[in-house]
Amino acid sequence: MPRWWSIALLAGLGALAAAVFALWPSARGGHADHRAGATTLAAGGGRRPPSTRVEFFEPYDGRRLAAGVRLLGVKNGRCFSGSIAVADPHAWRCISRNAILDPCFAPPGQPRPSSVVCGTPWSGLTRLELESPLPRASADRRQPPSVGWLLQLANGARCQLSQGAAGVERRVAVVYSCGAGAVAGALRWSEEPWTVRYLARGATAARKVAVEVAWGG
């Protein structure tokens, strides 16, 4: 299969997840607690706990990687569109050989960076040396950035927004993959703490679980 056709197919499969993700909450206000690689906000603008904590992943400190960011290695590749996973103009969807990397983060303030970093705050980051300039015309323009590409649940599960063809559990779309389980249906954020319907592997029914931390770009 030609590489360009594979890229187009993968991007198309991610459109469903991106459309759901775009409807979810946005947050860039409130009191920020700046830590290495992250900005933390109180979801709900100062409501008393229990509440869901919102963190924005910021892998750079200026033009350098933030202190505490774990770098796993270096690859070569290129980016071909804005990120599907993260609504942020500095986040990209990239490819290295036959592997799709999303999200990849470009350093802010650099119009033609030579590299981006790809991964999550949980997995660590891979530096991708760019073989061609970033396609700025394809950058994500959703503003303000949305919240919810990563979720840490009260039961200990870590969940990531599905980017490809979504599965179905009991006629409900699987929106997040969680390793040993999945989240069926949308993130529920109308009251604190936010909740999801979590379906453990092998379980016959989903159950309501609180979201401890929700990540934005």
Question: Tens of pLDDT along 107-128?
Answer: 988 889 999 999 998 989 999 9
pLDDT band (50, 70, 90) for residue 35? very low
Query: How far is 136 from 22, CA to CA, in rounded Å?
Result: 20
Cβ-contact 190, 196 below 8 angstroms: no
Residue-averaged pLDDT of the chain: 77
Residue 38 confidence (pLDDT):
53
Q: Give yes or no for residue 11 having a pLDDT over 60.
A: no
Residue 108 confidence (pLDDT):
86
Query: How far is 46 from 79, CA to CA, in rounded Å?
Result: 38
Q: Give yes or no for residue 4 having a pLDDT over 90.
A: no
Q: Give yes or no for residue 86 having a pLDDT over 90.
A: no
Which DSSP string corresponds to 57-110? E--EETTEEPTTPPEEEEEEEEEEEE-SS---TTEEEEEETTEEEEEEEPPTT-
Stretch (H or E) spanning 3: helix 3-13
Q: Which two tokens stand for residue 51?
A: 């509440």
Whose CA is closest to 127, among 96, 149, 90? 96
Query: How far is 198 from 67, CA to CA, in rounded Å?
Result: 34
